[in-house]
Amino acid sequence: MSDSAPRRKAPDQPWRTEGTPEEPPGRSGGRRMRGRWWGLAVTAVVVFLLAYIGLNYLDRGDEPTISYTEFSRQVQADNVSKIYSKGDAIQGELKSARDAPGDHGDYTTFRTQRPAFAEDDLWQELNSRGVTVTAEPVVKERGALTNLLISLAPIVIIVAVWIFIARRFGPGRGGAGGMFGRKPPPKPVELLPGRHRTTFADVAGIDEVKGELDDVVDFLEHPDAYRAMGAKMPRGVLLAGSPGTGKTLLARAVAGEAGVPFFSASASEFIEMIVGVGASRVRELFGEARKVAPSIIFIDEIDTIGRVRSGGASVSGHDEREQTLNQILTEMDGFTGSEGVIVIAATNRADILDPALTRPGRFDRVVNVSPPDRRGREAILRIHTRDIPLADDVDLTQLARTTPGMTGADLANLANEGALLAVKRGQSQVTATDLSEALEKVQLGAERTLVMPEEDRRRTAYHESGHALLGMLQPGADPVRKVTIVPRGRALGVTMSTPEVERYAHSEEYLRGRIIGALGGMAAEEEVYGVVTTGAENDLEQVTAIARGMVARWGMSEAVGRLSALPSDAQQAYGLSAAPRTLDVIDAEMRRIVDDCYEEARRKLREHRDRLDALAAALLEQETLEEADAYRVAGIPRLAKSETA
């Protein structure tokens, strides 16, 4: 339990349906349902009270209370027909109506009180005058209906209190889930025209990611076409990226683009609930989504339940998590793939996820969402200042330049802070000053350092330029697709090169080229700064793996010869290892190859220093260079070269 992510969203319903705020007629959401019960309780109590007062009034009649003197007078006048007495209280009935004192009008029945000091001989008097003294009250004390109502009162009150508590603490308010009646299942909502729904137009700076989600949208829009073809779609898409990069926004946009209902839940909400409820919530959620398919289920913070499962005995917290996770996996397995429910999950810890999640048929499509580069930041700023009146001195291009490392959420926050400042100052427009002060505030308030020191950015730019330039210069190497100094995960920058066509066999020249390219980062740093930093760990792992393969597996070293000189994994499991002498030779050969390559890398970079500088400068300026730009900046013609295998 202790290791589950502490990040919480505001308490809310266990899940929310989005797409439209309005409910179609005949369907009521949880809140409205509770409101109805509440109204019912209030009505019941009011009706009850009115009935009680009314009946009581009717039952009581309108007999006046008369003075004992008046009573005595009526007895003397022979006008009393019968009386009933309990203690000193007397009720009676007259033979003929009397005009009552005050506003009572005529009366035949009455009440009175015999004072304790009365020394009359009442009993004799009544007897002699033939007044009946009855055992029954002359005036009924209380009607039968009133009595019934009174006996019902406790029940009415209990029901009212019950409804009140259910409403106040029922599920959906973060209380005891299901204890007071089940929360109605999540209801899908149709998309009302005229309501702003999130679309790809609201997402900027991550175009490649949008591209990857295009076919998901297409599938949701035309599920029948896919069904007719018997085509299966990925059931789950995993959006991986650091906080604030717009994962939730993207999922919403997919739903908005396709115009399908959007069910949203946070994984942590499942396990926060009463033990054992998580799995059934998941079942219910999928059930509802299936009913209105095509639809989208979005599960945020999937890592809270999807982290690698503990092998051994587990504490109850893990059990709950595993049950919930298992339920999600079961539901996803249960999809035929053509049902049209697509699950989008988000995480900022893709590295700790259970591999079971990313197996085919589950979240088999992993989309990395990275922080935006300069152009992306500018586009995001434009989106978030759409509705903000900007003064003429505001230059969003310039602002984007000064905000490296900031995510979409940071930029949205920045725009908003700027607007707040302008309002506070009574301005009608947001000025450049407002925005630069807002930037300071946002950067101070952020927990992580948003902006990499300029020195580190420069070094990273040279490092990546080194990789890229050598990749471009190397005959037969895979073309460079993209160079960026926007950090991703733990990498400060990335140079991507992929082959034109899938290759299955590699020549020695190609492999040497790969090593030279991988060493390019280090070589450039040494060339420019004279020293090397720790940023090259990953590069060296690659280099080592290739060199070891060349020497010990692929027979590319004279000294070792055409031998598979290292034992396979299976052989190693039986304790087999290469002879120490062989290991020494392998080691020496690997070193020789890598040293050679490093020399060549240094030599080439020195020779093309102007190109290296140009690339680094362009990277510092733009942060990301696509294939065409990279070749253009370096002044190297982009030739389709094919390797002789």
Ligand X SMILES: Nc1ncnc2c1ncn2[C@@H]1O[C@H](COP(=O)(O)OP(=O)(O)OP(=O)(O)O)[C@@H](O)[C@H]1O
Tokens of 631: 């070749």
278 is in an annotated binding site: no
At 616, the amino acid letter reads A
Q: Which does 243 bind (CB under 5 to 8 A by kind): Zn ion, ligand X, none?
A: ligand X
Q: Which does 248 bind (CB under 5 to 8 A by kind): ligand X, Zn ion, none?
A: ligand X
Answer for which of 246, 278, 479, 493 binds ligand X (CB under 6 A) is: 246
Nearer to Zn ion, 358 or 542 (CB): 542
Contact 254, 213 (CB under 8 A): yes
316 is in an annotated binding site: no
333 is in an annotated binding site: no
Quote the distance between the C-alpha of residue 502 and its chain's center: 38
- Note whether 348 binds ligand X by CB under 6 A: yes
Nearer to Zn ion, 328 or 461 (CB): 461
Q: Please give the residue whose beta carbon sits closest to ligand X in the complex.
A: 408
26 is in an annotated binding site: no
- Minimum gap (Å) between residue 240 Cβ and Zn ion: 21
Q: Which does 204 bind (CB under 5 to 8 A by kind): Zn ion, ligand X, none?
A: ligand X
Nearer to Zn ion, 83 or 470 (CB): 470
CA distance 412 to 245: 11
242 is in an annotated binding site: yes
Q: Which does 513 bind (CB under 5 to 8 A by kind): ligand X, Zn ion, none?
A: none
Backbone angles phi, psi at 4, to 5 degrees: -75, 145
Tell me whether residue 464 is one of the annotated catalytic residues. yes
What is the DSSP secondary-structure string of 42-98?
A: HHHHHHHHHHHHHHHHHHHTTPPB--HHHHHHHHHTT-EEEEEEETTEEEEEEEEEE
- Note whether 300 binds Zn ion by CB under 5 A: no
Q: For residue 364, what are the CA distances in angstroms to 222, 237, 300, 645? A: 21, 7, 17, 32
DSSP 308: P
- Note whether 408 binds ligand X by CB under 6 A: yes
User: Edge to edge, what strands does the sheet with 236-240 contain?
Assistant: 15-18, 262-266, 295-300, 341-347, 236-240, 365-368
Pattern 182-221, ligand X, x by CB under 6 A? ---------------------xxxx---------------
CA distance 254 to 235: 14
Token match 């000053």: residue? 433
- Minimum gap (Å) between residue 457 Cβ and ligand X: 21
Choose the catalytic residue: 269, 301, 378, 464: 464
Hey, which residues between 513 and 552 contact Zn ion (CB under 5 A)? 521, 539
Characterise 592 by phi-psi region: left (phi > 0), alpha (psi -120 to 50), beta (else).
alpha
**Helices and strands per DSSP (H, E), number in the chain:** 22, 13
Q: Which does 521 bind (CB under 5 to 8 A by kind): Zn ion, ligand X, none?
A: Zn ion
Q: Please give the residue whose beta carbon sits closest to Zn ion in the complex.
A: 521
Tokens of 571: 């052989």
- Note whether 605 binds ligand X by CB under 6 A: no
What is the DSSP secondary-structure string of 359-383?
A: STTSS-EEEE-----HHHHHHHHHH
- Note whether 248 binds ligand X by CB under 6 A: yes
Hey, which residues between 365 and 394 contact ligand X (CB under 6 A)? 380, 383
At 643, the amino acid letter reads E
Q: Which does 414 bind (CB under 5 to 8 A by kind): Zn ion, ligand X, none?
A: none
Nearer to ligand X, 380 or 605 (CB): 380
Binding residues: 241-248, 463, 467, 539
Q: Which residues bind Zn ion (CB under 5 A)?
A: 521, 539
Catalytic sites, residue numbers: 464
Q: Which residues bind ligand X (CB under 6 A)?
A: 203-206, 243-249, 300, 346, 348, 380, 383, 408-409, 412
Binding residues for ATP: 241-248
